[in-house]
Structure 1
């Protein structure tokens, strides 16, 4: 017997309509690449989405199931594409602007993008590969100045395109399981793979992430969306902000610490997101030149890689700003966990609380986590037993786009993340490494993440990345690549060994150290350890 409930599809259109009905007065504020500030309301954005829908169907011949690419920074028109494209039943494919030309060409041809909306400042990146793109019929230029010149074929201007269209558009009735968005992995272990999101998954992800145990967003908030819209749909924030009535501030390409601090000050931001490297830069800039007035920023949500406990503590003690740890993947839409303390933790000391807050946190309702040990057995939830993290749930992919390869999925339907972690009795998950980054020395596992976090708490170190290098006696040993903090002398190897020996067993402490100017980063700001492995192959310390 089925329940007697209405069939009300959970789609991006229902988010858009709700945001317009209830929060039409809330704002989207954009700092364009040239620094110009632009502001308009959710209501104005709603009407532009209707015009966009007409343009897609009438001018660009986009139909249900067609793939529409975006190659753009964070700004109002990009938000419009997040709603206008899936609103007509097409698929919004956000293309990572920081991938190589070869990867970008592959992604566009693999997804079969019919139209690409591209920021004028990014046009040169597409001009290089345009002759190799097999399915693209039109390029629509966003934020392009008058008399803008390009070699891209069949170009249209975004604002001219919308100006020609009516605001009258009736959204089609969509199935909530229809595809709405497409994101590709960053391709760190091969060619990028496509994750095809549904309307239902997008809606449920947004509705869950606004909750108090997650991002904790409401209509009183103003959020700075630093996470790029070209990276996993900006963690879904353009959807959850509209759903919660949170003002959105979009920095486009203004991502230098000083520029972001100015935006934080001017717009009275109280919530923000971003990868750890962004917040490290902001903290260092604020230490160097403290703001004249206390920032209104209350907390920042961090994912992508581990947030060092030392940075959580320093930001809080120096500026009263709280760091909230989260975890997710392209394959999980992306957020899967967040770390907030519970009432049972109130009696703990600050250092004990900090240890918990440095974990990736508890899973959200609608998701399940488990840890599988090397022998295939289920790890105990004791906070000590390590294994590979598996996940399943309402916004986790069931397969990759255009592939029958299910090697990342178990026979009983779980996605194998490749992350190595522990989960404690309260459900707090802590990433100890990626499977490819674990170091096995003399038969014992060593966590590169734990070593990196400890090293970055050293007063003379700005960044640290740890990799495995071959060793005749122990098979592998850890090598630490160190970036010295500004205006600091290089610490001695003996000093670093002594510093780490307080918290690590002797076999875990690196004896090999190299000093570099910067840790190489991936397209999404994570440490790119494959570059370090290549540079220091076979233990040759150059």
Structure 2
């Protein structure tokens, strides 16, 4: 029996669609080449890894944005039998060091610019011996580095019969959660899991990717496996467009117009900003058919504008690092075709129908399943061939987050009688800003460390562009009156997190509402803050 591995995902496009293209925005401009050339370069990179004795049991870390070299590494690492470990470049220094140490990466593939500068700054604290800079040449640096293109030039492309034997249970991928409470947790994926998830994503019940699509994943390749686009779009033989480092709305619009992009994906903030750019400068979105959004819900007004002004459909999706990303997609069923637009939008605003191959339960605090009536709420549990059942190196987390082979997602949801999931809240009160996680608990602990702060609670409040931003309430000591500027400066010293973590506003209050057990009652606090802004 043939093992379920990534080999067919590489064989199919390079043999059946060799003329199809991959376009990539890099620091040096636009790179444009075919699947045939992609295949040769991946074979060279596999050869280079094998020559350096990287294979089963080794981890290949990546620390970069969305471009063709990162895509090649997505394939070459697991095709060599090694494990690809994507690292979020937007994390704070402390989390980056922890993740690389915990994963024990053997080599890092790093983008030039800020990613390389970060690794250079942390170099003395990292266990890695070698860095591959994903560029034509290595800029001046103190780390032991080789240029990606030099690595390929020195290697011979391996032949079909020279690929290592792969088993479907080999570790092939790794990604860490965003560390909403405590340290980020490692999530591992086997060859078989990646195979199953990419096939799931390709189906009409998933994201329905086929070879006629021109796909531009804006969701970062370092974040939740780029929602599986690198593998699913390649397997489908679709034309691919990668937007490169820190793309701005003008960059995305240029690529959409230049490449006739039909399908793209990213957090809602990206598409709100793109609308504003088109409003101000104009632009042609006529090729675009679909935008997949996740990380947070897109406002209905934004969905309607894309639909009514540009004939572009926005589709909500839900997923987690623990589910390999996409776990549900929202679009009306065929039986709803005759519904008016209002009823359809009510469905499209939800997180949708569970992906093929997955099962779910919605469970109350006592472990009982709740009704699918659109009103009863509970925690969403899921299981399936693409869902993990444990965390890497974290046996302490397993009892809290898993029940047998069920993953306790931490999402509080209700399910309507058509089976559509709607997320109501997060059990951990995590804040999502522009698709990235911010820990309210970590912010609270840092604020309470200030000598003049007695209590602190942080909640997420709605934001026009970022969907949600942190809002802090503090109770100060008698006769103390620290300014907001002083508290923000204190956070800068106390936290090892990027500045976008910091609250947009810190309000001094007389007291913070508490539950009967003495915990902060954030539901009441949110209601109070909402009332303040509605006045």
TM-score by length of structure 1 reads 0.80
Q: CA–CA distance in 2 between the matches of 1:478 and 1:229?
A: 30
Q: Which residue in 2 is equivalent to 1:271?
A: 263
1:294 is displaced (CA, Å) by: 4.5
Q: Which residue in 1 is equivalent to 2:338?
A: 347
* Aligned equivalent of 1:382, options 373, 388, 409: 373
Q: Which residue in 2 is equivalent to 1:24?
A: 18
Pair 1:111 & 2:134 matched: no
Alignment map for 1:59-208 (pairs within 5 Å): 60-121=52-113, 122-134=115-127, 136-145=128-137, 148-152=139-143, 154-169=144-159, 170-208=162-200
Q: Which residue in 2 is equivalent to 1:398?
A: 389
Q: Which string of whole-angstrom CA distances, capped at 9 and with x for unpartnered residues, describes residues 162-214 of structure 1? A: 10111134112211111101000111211110110111111111111111122
* Aligned equivalent of 1:308, options 293, 299, 305: 299
1:61 is displaced (CA, Å) by: 2.6
Q: CA–CA distance in 2 between the matches of 1:27 and 1:165?
A: 24
Answer yes or no: is the 8 Å Cα contact 1:64–1:88 preserved in 2. Answer: yes
* Aligned equivalent of 1:280, options 256, 267, 272: 272
Answer yes or no: is the 8 Å Cα contact 1:408–1:417 preserved in 2. Answer: no
Q: Which string of whole-angstrom CA distances, capped at 9 and with x for unpartnered residues, describes residues 507-541 of structure 1? A: xxxxxxxxxxxxxxxx9x9x96x846976785598
Answer yes or no: is the 8 Å Cα contact 1:89–1:180 preserved in 2. Answer: yes
- Could you say if the C-alpha distance between residues 172 and 482 of structure 1 is closer, same or farther in structure 2, counting changes exceeding 3 Å? closer
Secondary structure, aligned partner of 2:65:
coil
1:480 is displaced (CA, Å) by: 7.8
Q: CA–CA distance in 2 between the matches of 1:89 and 1:141?
A: 22
Secondary structure, aligned partner of 2:106:
strand
1:318 is displaced (CA, Å) by: 2.1
Q: Which string of whole-angstrom CA distances, capped at 9 and with x for unpartnered residues, describes residues 228-280 of structure 1? A: 11112211111001111111100111521122111111110010000111111
Q: CA–CA distance in 2 between the matches of 1:536 and 1:196?
A: 43
Q: CA–CA distance in 2 between the matches of 1:338 and 1:272?
A: 14
Number of residue pairs matched by the alignment: 462
Answer yes or no: is the 8 Å Cα contact 1:31–1:254 preserved in 2. Answer: no
Unaligned runs of 5+ in 1: 1-6, 439-447, 453-464, 471-476, 486-522
1:478 is displaced (CA, Å) by: 11
Answer yes or no: is the 8 Å Cα contact 2:136–2:150 preserved in 1. Answer: no
Q: Which residue in 2 is equivalent to 1:220?
A: 212
Q: Which string of whole-angstrom CA distances, capped at 9 and with x for unpartnered residues, describes residues 211-233 of structure 1? A: 11221111111011101111122
Answer yes or no: is the 8 Å Cα contact 2:24–2:31 preserved in 1. Answer: yes
Aligned-residue RMSD, C-alpha: 3.0
Alignment map for 1:317-328 (pairs within 5 Å): 317-328=308-319
1:436 is displaced (CA, Å) by: 2.7
TM-score by length of structure 2 reads 0.81
Secondary structure, aligned partner of 2:163:
coil
Structure 1 segments of 4+ aligned residues over 6 angstroms from their partners: 477-480, 532-537
- Could you say if the C-alpha distance between residues 119 and 359 of structure 1 is closer, same or farther in structure 2, counting changes exceeding 3 Å? same
Answer yes or no: is the 8 Å Cα contact 1:223–1:249 preserved in 2. Answer: yes
Secondary structure, aligned partner of 2:99:
helix
Q: CA–CA distance in 1 between the matches of 2:97 and 2:365?
A: 37
Which shows bigger deviation, 375-384 or 355-364? 375-384
Answer yes or no: is the 8 Å Cα contact 1:213–1:340 preserved in 2. Answer: no
Q: CA–CA distance in 2 between the matches of 1:483 and 1:219?
A: 37
Alignment map for 1:436-515 (pairs within 5 Å): 436-437=428-429, 481=461, 483=463
